[in-house]
Amino acid sequence: MRVTLLGTAAGGGFPQWNCACRRCDSCRAGATGVRPRTQDCLAVSPTGRGWFLVNASPDIRAQIVSCPDLAPGPGPRETPLCGVLLTDAELDHSLGLVMLREGGGLRVWAPSAVAHALEHDFGVRTVVAHYRQWDWEAVEPHEEFELVEPGGERLLVTAIPVSGKRPRYAAESAAEGPWVFAYRISDPATGGTLLYAPCLAAWPEGFDELVADVDCVLLDGTFYSADEMPGATGSTVAGGEQKSMGHIPIAGRDGSLELLRAHPGVRRIYTHLNNTNPVLDSRSPEHARLTAAGVEVAPDGTTFEL
């Protein structure tokens, strides 16, 4: 299985267009150790001939153009992109579907609440249907399904519900959750396994067992601490409000880093990094703490095989 981190930032990217915090300013200035990042998106493939996106960020066009494996050809309208899996209905994970509207023959896998929201609460699905008739596949909790390349090679995927957090625009949605999923992706040819969980409100029951059973975990690293936003931006968002945004912090007694320490044999990578997160600066003590624990903050464009 081939894996490419197309984007590793939270909503708004890094630097965020309307933010003049110290880290965003350092990034704009080209400071050493502070690299720009696009919004969170993953690409996976059994062999490299056909690729599947996990989420479709608003930056998807730039992400595809910058990734040689996703270049079109050999025919004038051929593309190796086969489909998209959605972990949730947040705008930073779904608006890219509109940018993909020129592509025919795509399939989209989405949990029922996510598909409902993108049709009835924020009509991304309806807009795309005016351009292309894609196949939408229902994702059921804990049920396995296949991603099949044109040549027949496949990946096996299991959807794991991890949160009931609704997008803000769907606060009054008639859809019932769960709203947020992680995906366990395995390659039956190699035995390689990946767990992708870019949005994790808390450490769910049984999640330790899931992490222990994979070769690599890509985990929600949105915030380093539970109350970092006011200090970084002067925002009036309080710690409790920040927690309600649906992201477990990295640090702290109940943070994800301490929980990841129990899995030294698993490759551990943080993704979905908010522009306020100090680990975005590779010279920071927070970044050094992750490195010492054997946990990575990988840049956009990182590729590896499992």
User: What number is the average pLDDT over the span 172-184?
Assistant: 94
234 has a pLDDT exceeding 90: no
Containing structural domain, residue 152: 2-305
Res. 47 pLDDT band, cuts 50 70 90: very high
pLDDT of residue 231: 61
Q: In one letter, which amino acid is 147?
A: L
pLDDT of residue 242: 52
Q: Where are the alpha helices (DSSP H) in the chain?
A: 22-28, 60-65, 91-94, 96-99, 112-116, 124-129, 207-212, 228-233, 239-243, 256-260, 285-292
101 has a pLDDT exceeding 90: yes
> Could you tell me if 181 and 160 are in contact, meaning their C-beta atoms sit under 8 angstroms apart?
yes
User: CB neighbours (10 Å) of residue 146?
Assistant: 9
User: What number is the average pLDDT over the span 22-49?
Assistant: 96
User: CB neighbours (10 Å) of residue 206?
Assistant: 9
pTM of the predicted model, to two decimals? 0.94
pLDDT of residue 233: 54
**Residue 106: which of 142, 60, 143, 141 has the closest Cα?**
60
232 has a pLDDT exceeding 80: no
Region of poorest pLDDT, from 12-16, 124-128, 151-155:
124-128
pLDDT of residue 132: 84
Q: What's the pLDDT tens digit per position in 127-171?
A: 998 888 899 999 999 999 999 999 999 999 999 999 999 999 999
| Distance from C-alpha of 175 to C-alpha of 153, rounded to nearest angstrom | 34
Instruction: Identify the CATH number of the domain in which residue 23 sits.
Output: 3.60.15.10
Q: In one letter, which amino acid is 117?
A: A
Res. 237 pLDDT band, cuts 50 70 90: low
Res. 12 pLDDT band, cuts 50 70 90: very high
User: What number is the average pLDDT over the span 254-279?
Assistant: 96
Q: What's the pLDDT tens digit per position in 19-28?
A: 999 999 999 9
239 has a pLDDT exceeding 90: no
40 has a pLDDT exceeding 70: yes
103 has a pLDDT exceeding 90: no
User: What number is the average pLDDT over the span 32-49?
Assistant: 97
55 has a pLDDT exceeding 70: yes
**Residue 46: which of 196, 157, 158 has the closest Cα?**
157
**Upstream peptide bond of 198 is cis (omega within 30 degrees of 0):** no
Domain count, the chain: 1
pLDDT of residue 243: 55
| Distance from C-alpha of 64 to C-alpha of 43, rounded to nearest angstrom | 10
